[in-house]
Amino acid sequence: MRHVTGRARRARVALAAVLTWAGLLAGATGCTTGGEGGIDIGGLGKPPAPENVIRISPDDNTKGVRPEEKLRVRVPDGRLESVRVVRSQDAQETPVPGHVSDDGLSWEPDDHKLALAAKYTVDAVALDSRGRRSARHTTFTTYVPDERFIGYVSPENRSTVGTGMIVSLEFNREIEHRAAVERAVHVTAEPPVEIRPHWFGNGRLDFRPEEYWRPGTRVTVSLRLRDVEGAPGVYGLQYKTFSFTIGRSQVSLVDAARHTMDVRRDGALLATVPITAGAPKTTTYNGKMVVTEMLEVTRMNGATVGFKKKNGKGEYDIPDVPHAMRLTESGTFLHGNYWASDAFGRVNVSHGCVGLRDVKGGGADTPAGWFFDRSLVGDVVEVVHSNDKTVAPDNGLGGWNMGWNEWKTGSALK
């Protein structure tokens, strides 16, 4: 019997361990190639590269992504553990809501349309089918359009207006995709009432109920125009909400033949005021008009509205017309008049405006001052018995002169 020394015994143990580990390697099954060529032996080697596990589109660092491209996070197997997407736009960061599919293999945003001129950051964590966790961080930026459009809205935010106010948007660009723009504008009221839109050409969109607003109604206007394509290559810029309140009801009836104006507040007659309307050759429009602007004093020059002398100067040029309230875009005003003192209640002498007795500089105790102090933007002034046509629905806020059925046909959404 050979005597085995301690050193030899230790060498044999070490050799046996090496042979055993080599045998395990030779007999191992289910070996896979990990990311970047790493060998995964029984789950002990390198995991796959994150980009092979978590697939995000658009690709990392992509620039100029179009709004119709899809944002999606996917895994080939296993499941997504978490996905967080943040949109950075106009110096603000906003989480992008989304949902993971029932099988856990994909995530998509709730709103599939990407914002323009924005940076998106995606952070995703996933477990593969072997329970190995991977994480991925990507970014991309979206298309920055060269051309934008906005809508100039009346009335003003937080204002109190009369019952005849019509919500009106004037666009700075011609709108070719009117249906898309109309879908992005929402006008609601509390208490609720049906409100319908009407397009005037390709540049103006108005909203109104069937009848004048009820006093006390709160109207909210939501503009969701940002990134809406209003015309080829022209995208909206606004995303805001504002509101206004309907004050008391005041409707005034101007009778051009009788030279009077009946002022009614909440249906009750406040006063009958003597007026002068348009002269026979420069008559006043008939129909319902809405006060859109109130000026303590303003200059009125006939040349600006087509009343010119042969030398090109205006037929009139009054630098200090008091208590002026605009009724039409074409230049019809209801205003104080201090230069035709004998006309009120007797004869029509104006160039189409409705005049009330006043004094130079405007007097508080004159008919014009009294009416001005009791008026609001949005009040209705209706003219009857004038030898003229009815004011056009798009001349100022003249939409009340259009029947409800005709008004509703002006929507771009059929």
Does this model's pTM top 0.75? My answer is yes
Task: Choose, from 198, 259, 335, 351, the residue flagged as catalytic.
Answer: 335
- Is 37's pLDDT higher than 90? no
13 phi/psi in degrees, rounded to 5? -65, -45
Q: Which structural domain, as residue segments, surrounds residue 352?
A: 250-397
Residues 353 and 288 both lie in one domain? yes
Residues 103 and 235 both lie in one domain? no
- Is 18's pLDDT higher than 70? no
- Any domain includes 3: no
Q: Alpha-carbon distance 43 to 29, whole Å?
A: 12
Please list, in sequence order, all residues whose beta carbon lies within 8 angstroms of the beta carbon of residue 278, skipping any fewer than 6 positions away.
256, 284, 348, 350, 351, 352, 353, 386, 388
The residue among 89, 122, 142 that closes a domain is 142
Question: Which CATH number characterizes residue 222's domain?
Answer: 2.60.40.3710
Q: Alpha-carbon distance 146 to 171, whole Å?
A: 17
* Residue corresponding to tokens 């045998």: 23
- Is 372's pLDDT higher than 60? yes
The alpha carbon of residue 343 and the mean position of all alpha carbons in its chain are separated, in whole angstroms, by: 47
- Any domain includes 122: yes
Residues 277 and 353 both lie in one domain? yes
- pLDDT tens-digit profile of 56-92? 999 999 999 999 999 999 999 999 999 999 999 877 8
246 phi/psi in degrees, rounded to 5? -85, 125
Cβ neighbours, 10 Å, residue 116: 21
- pLDDT tens-digit profile of 115-134? 999 999 999 999 999 999 99
> Residue 126 belongs to what H/E stretch?
strand 119-127
The predicted pLDDT at position 414 comes to 78
Task: Choose, from 259, 323, 351, 353, the residue flagged as catalytic.
Answer: 353
Mean pLDDT of 277-303: 93
Q: Alpha-carbon distance 232 to 238, whole Å?
A: 18
Q: Alpha-carbon distance 253 to 215, whole Å?
A: 19
The predicted pLDDT at position 359 comes to 96
- Is 6's pLDDT higher than 50? no
- Any domain includes 344: yes
- Any domain includes 2: no
- pLDDT tens-digit profile of 133-151? 999 999 999 999 999 999 9
Is 385 one of the annotated active-site residues of the chain?
Answer: no
Residues 254 and 391 both lie in one domain? yes
Under the banding of pLDDT at 50, 70 and 90, the label for residue 40 is very low
- Is 311's pLDDT higher than 70? no
The residue among 218, 247, 276 that closes a domain is 247
Cβ neighbours, 10 Å, residue 312: 7
Higher-confidence residue of 29 and 315: namely 315
Residues 63 and 201 both lie in one domain? no
The predicted pLDDT at position 274 comes to 98
- Is 21's pLDDT higher than 80? no
Residues 334 and 292 both lie in one domain? yes
In eight-state DSSP terms, residue 314 is B
Q: Alpha-carbon distance 260 to 262, whole Å?
A: 7
Identify the three-state secondary structure at position 13.
helix
Domain count, the chain: 3
Residue type, 224: R
Residues 122 and 171 both lie in one domain? no
Is 335 one of the annotated active-site residues of the chain?
Answer: yes
Residues 62 and 96 both lie in one domain? yes
Mean pLDDT of 100-111: 96
CB-based contact 321:335 (threshold 8 Å): yes
- Any domain includes 42: no
Question: Which CATH number characterizes residue 113's domain?
Answer: 2.60.40.3780
Tokens of 399: 């939409």
Sign for the CA dihedral angle at 307, 313, 315, 316 comes to positive
- Any domain includes 11: no
Mean pLDDT of 155-175: 97
Contacts 24+ apart (CB under 8 A), 304-312: 304/331, 305/330, 305/331, 305/351, 307/282, 307/351
- pLDDT tens-digit profile of 255-270? 999 999 999 999 999 9
- Any domain includes 6: no
The predicted pLDDT at position 44 comes to 45
The predicted pLDDT at position 112 comes to 87
Residues 228 and 170 both lie in one domain? yes
The residue among 247, 275, 300 that closes a domain is 247
Best CA proximity match to 186, nearest among 238, 108, 128 = 238
CB-based contact 376:156 (threshold 8 Å): no
Residues 202 and 231 both lie in one domain? yes
Across all residues in the chain, what is the average pLDDT? 88
The predicted pLDDT at position 23 comes to 39
Higher-confidence residue of 93 and 403: namely 403
The predicted pLDDT at position 307 comes to 65
CB-based contact 198:399 (threshold 8 Å): yes
The predicted pLDDT at position 25 comes to 37
Residues 134 and 168 both lie in one domain? no
- pLDDT tens-digit profile of 218-263? 999 999 999 999 999 999 999 999 999 999 999 999 999 999 999 9
The predicted pLDDT at position 305 comes to 66
Question: Which CATH number characterizes residue 257's domain?
Answer: 2.40.440.10
Please list, in sequence order, all residues whose beta carbon lies within 8 angstroms of the beta carbon of residue 310, skipping any fewer than 6 positions away.
none
Q: Which of 7-16, 128-137, 401-410 has the highest mean pLDDT?
A: 401-410
The predicted pLDDT at position 301 comes to 81
- Any domain includes 16: no
Higher-confidence residue of 338 and 32: namely 338
Please list, in sequence order, all residues whose beta carbon lies within 8 angstroms of the beta carbon of residue 122, skipping any fewer than 6 positions away.
56, 71, 73, 83, 84, 85, 136, 137, 138, 139
Mean pLDDT of 267-283: 97
Residues 301 and 373 both lie in one domain? yes
